[in-house]
Structure 1
């Protein structure tokens, strides 16, 4: 047991080191995770004997749930909306076109059977969100024409389509589905996937807004929501991956408490899932068996990169009058990744196919795609003149936050407020602060000296943020129903010495208190105090 724990620690530390090296060498991080698994595997240095495809399929499929969920949760819809139609077309028809062309190539050039060739095309039909995000984030690759958002939506949402094609072809190969049954199966996949994804996102968002969770419980709650979003439609014959992705994107773009903290939590959790899935896949492969699959894999990789993917992109984006350089970059950015390998394992363990040769071929294709396409993507974007020097690709993600030391607070002007009716020039605020905006009847007003404040206005005041570590801490106190503080004002309450109540959280609302604020059962008091006070 101790040896296993030590091995896990070594793998994690090696993965971190690989991430750092990847940034310097310009190689996608995911390549290091795969290489690490191969290094630990049967043909590697540590000779760990692992060839359990069934276990790998279960573990990797579970990890893929969270990768897809976070692919949606981390996408900022306001940035993606202008290119949503193009992204959806690429993630659906684009997958079908790419898979179909690749299947024909496998049939007529590589000599595979038509059904087997189409199966290879379906497994490799989608691009990989983790691979694309890794390159965009690590290289700070901001692209013109909102291309980063287009790739994020496409790569996050096309795995469900590839999965549907894969299971459909497996059903056809197994002789268990007629044309009518295939049509019903596809309809069930989409209907249940969409319906439950929407329902889970609405229910989870309602719970988080109505009963805010603290202490990390909100992150655990979202893990449960992601699992429900996948498992429930799967039990009903729906597409669990579609449901998980849809739930993620709808939840990530709702107004829920501590959303940036949740995005940061899932970023860490997603990294763990990526390490797990790529390391396990690297452990599963036998490098000594890869040479036999290398030649067809190189042919498929070249065909997909230079013909199939560009054909789908040009066919679907040209009606939107997309610039030629954008279409070239989108074509090159069709990186294959974890989902393709997981779907290949699904075919390997399926009674309808049951041959590991497709796994070896797909593994090689993914390795070539990550290593060559992923590494060269920044150079291709620069050569095509697609780099936006004035933007920031991180703005397209929900966990983005400005690198600035300015913070903002809101002050509401009610009927009794001393500033009501006064012009801005007559208001004295603390030195170093600035009234940045006035919110009035749903509209933002730029304040001027003669702007008079009205009842119902909300002032947005900016100031330099405090970020030091000077022995000051925030703590929380929950007011129980039988607490002697219930019904008392803060002035009457006997709280900690040298502390100040800076916030009262009540029924999902934040209240800035004063001495006359009366405490109620269920209130959460946030205290500002010195360490040890």
Structure 2
């Protein structure tokens, strides 16, 4: 069965790739296509007919291993290829979004989740939902990042935000998981202190390895010691090495991957040029696979658990909470009304939310957390559809609006 799933995934990717330009003209993004493909493949496998959560339980080992390696690579590449030397307006915008907009979004989403999803959901589970659905995903707004008619600060600010917010949320998410595990009696003895120690060890291993690898790649590229294909593979190999070393040392491999990417970026002036081209292709493949698994395993597991309260919370989260928080954090900024609304809307939820969800299930199990799993899946589903459909039209509209506002 696994072989057929792999074949159908690859075939779906090839079909979309062959007609990708035409698909994008009809506002069909690759995440939309892969969720649909995963859902279709699940039909003959009988996954839609199984009781709620059974498809995920039966295939959880595969989803867990895949999610861990995927998140490690994405966190590392996001940090490693970040151009922190970008123009100052983009950095100022990203700083506003990350330092003010992100914490504010987490807090208001936390309150809304506590009061709006399910009776007695609990304070910490509500926080876990807020942390899972607050990081944004640039893969769902690719046309925004590629359209040169949109001002560079807006494009680059959104890109920097989506590249860093999942890494910034990660330590808080891990700590919240530890608190919930302690409160529910799962590995309660020393769990919180152990989690903090894991974060510290992970960060230390990541920074040390990233700095060393940065110096090594500088040396190798300067002396033309690396052939092209290994230059492009360097980022993925580094991510996996740092993740595995940190896990072996008893640290948090995800924190290590993100810290290692940042350290490598700072230590090496060559790293972005070396791995960015491969990183883009790798990120696209991981994006497609993540959304395929989402459609194949998660949607058939949760759709029967969706409630009206979850739908209302999801819509409020996407349409009101994130845009309102962005609006507040951009008070006093030089951006016009259309740009503020645009930035507020393009906070799609995707890969980080899916993988954090799988990590939560790994550490806490599913029993007792059915509402969390279902709600996060619903938000991601709505986001994949609405942000995929709206990316090109709204980008074109903002470009035309900005062109009219530009002085002749």
Distance 1:37 1:4 in 2: 9
- 1:227 Cα offset (Å): 1.6
Classify the secondary structure of the residue corresponding to 2:283: helix
Whether 1:348 and 2:357 are equivalent positions in the alignment is: no
In the alignment, the residues of structure 1 paired with residue 204 and residue 89 of structure 2 have an alpha-carbon distance, to the nearest angstrom, of: 24
Cα pair distance change 1:209/1:378, threshold 3 Å: same
Instruction: Quote the RMSD (CA, aligned, Å).
Output: 3.5
| Aligned CA distance change for structure 1 residues 141 and 30 (closer, same or farther; 3 Å) | farther
Cα separation, 1, equivalents of 2:74 and 2:298: 22
Q: How high is the TM-score relative to the length of structure 2?
A: 0.79
Deviation at 1:333, TM superposition (A): 0.7
* CA positional deviation for 1:318: 1.9
2:62 to 55, 67, 73: 55
| Secondary structure, aligned partner of 1:26 | coil
Mapping for residues 219-298 of structure 1, pairs under 5 Å: 219-234=232-247, 240-248=253-261, 251=264, 254-256=268-270, 260=273, 262-287=275-300, 289-293=302-306, 295-298=308-311
- CA displacement at 1:147 relative to structure 2: 1.1
Per-residue deviation, 1:215: 5.3
- The separation in 1 between residues aligned to 2:29 and 2:3, in whole angstroms, is 32
Equivalent positions of 1:185-224 (< 5 A) are 185=195, 189=199, 192=201, 195-211=204-220, 212-214=225-227, 216-224=229-237
3-state DSSP class of the match of 1:78?
coil
Per-residue deviation, residues 350-380 of structure 1 (Å, max 9, x unmatched): 3376434422221221111121133223434
Distance 1:385 1:213, change over 3 A: closer
Structure 2 distance, partners of 1:246, 1:142, is: 33
List alignment gaps of at least 5 residues for structure 2: 49-54
Which protein is richer in helix relative to its size? 2
Contact 1:101 1:308 in 2 (8 A): yes
Structure 2 residue 381 is matched with structure 1 residue 367: yes
Counterparts of residues 51-450 of structure 1 (less than 5 Å): 51=56, 52-79=59-86, 81-112=88-119, 113-115=121-123, 116-132=125-141, 134-137=142-145, 140=147, 142-144=149-151, 146-175=153-182, 185=195, 189=199, 192=201, 195-211=204-220, 212-214=225-227, 216-234=229-247, 240-248=253-261, 251=264, 254-256=268-270, 260=273, 262-287=275-300, 289-293=302-306, 295-320=308-333, 322-351=335-364, 354=367, 355-384=369-398
CA shift at 1:108, angstroms? Answer: 2.1
- Alignment partners' CA distance in 2, 1:223 and 1:283: 25
Shift of the 241–350 alpha-carbon distance from structure 1 to 2, 3 Å rule, reads: closer
Indicate the structure with greater strand content. Answer: 1
What's the CA shift for 1:388?
6.0
User: Residues 188 and 320 of structure 1: is their aligned pair in 2 closer, same or farther, counting only changes over 3 Å?
Assistant: farther
Shift of 1:107: 2.3
Confirm or deny: 8 A CA contact 2:246 2:256 kept in the other structure.
yes
Where 2:14 maps in the other structure, the secondary structure is helix
Rg: which structure is higher?
A: 1
On the 8 A contact 2:76/2:260 being kept in 1, the answer is: yes
Question: Structure 1: which 5+ runs fail to align?
Answer: 391-533
In the alignment of these two chains, the number of paired residues is 383
- SS of equivalent to 2:377: helix
Q: Is the 8 A contact 2:64 2:358 kept in 1?
A: yes
Mapped contact 1:193–1:239 kept (Cα < 8 A): yes
Q: Give SS of 1:158's match.
A: helix
